[in-house]
Copies of this chain bind each other. A is one copy, B any other.
């Protein structure tokens, strides 16, 4: 049986495999860190998941999802993102609270529930923070956005996605007026990995740390 713990591990592994740099190995310690468990717990689960053929475990080297494991990860992520969007749109949840709520609900809903909120939302393909929502068949689109921290100076762009991993950071972004669809332009970049000077919606100017800019994804515009 696929337990909640299994779904959580597979989801984390998937996100790391397809995250920041996709060629980096997904190791015991990285997963242990993300999931807030000991390294030994992660190893135990890796062995169990390998036996279930949901991933391949290369001892001391890391893990890689099988297509069966990836399928479950994508189903879980689909649940998560549909629930997030539903909370935001139908129940008017604030931006920074939907992730935590969805983390619990994603394991509790049925296929029926998934289908009904999918329909109620009009079969969305983009989630509340701009992430692609996997299809029921397990397809996921690569939206190919640029990190705001990598945006060229003077290049106007629109915020298309933000990382949902830190609620406090989301509240901070909102306070600055940085949301999906917001128009931004980097006007200056301080040396030594210093903050960006950012034009927001062409009317405000703010200084933004690289850590935050790294978690904002934009689309350049003409």
Contact = CB atoms under 8 A, between A and B. Distances in A.
Interface of A: 87, 90-93, 97, 100-101, 104-105, 107-110, 112-113, 116-117, 120
A15 to B, nearest CB: 21
Number of identical protomers? 2
A218 to B, nearest CB: 31
A97 B97 CA distance: 28
A116 B91 CA distance: 6
A112 B105 CA distance: 13
A97 B116 CA distance: 13
Given A101-B109, A104-B109, A104-B110, 7 more contacts: A90-B90, A90-B120, A91-B113, A91-B116, A101-B110, A101-B112, A108-B108
Nearest to A92: B116
B109 A97 contact: no
A114 to B, nearest CB: 11
A91 B117 contact: yes
A110 B105 CA distance: 10
A93 B116 CA distance: 8
B109 A105 contact: yes
Contacts of A108: 104-105, 107-108
A123 to B, nearest CB: 15
Counting chain B CB atoms within 10 Å of each CB, the highest count among A90, A100, A108, A116 belongs to A108
Nearest to A103: B108
Contacts of A105: 105, 108-109
Contacts of A110: 100-101, 104
A105 B113 CA distance: 11
Give me the 7 closest cross-chain CB pairs, A-B, nearest first.
Answer: A108-B108, A104-B108, A91-B116, A105-B108, A101-B110, A101-B113, A91-B120
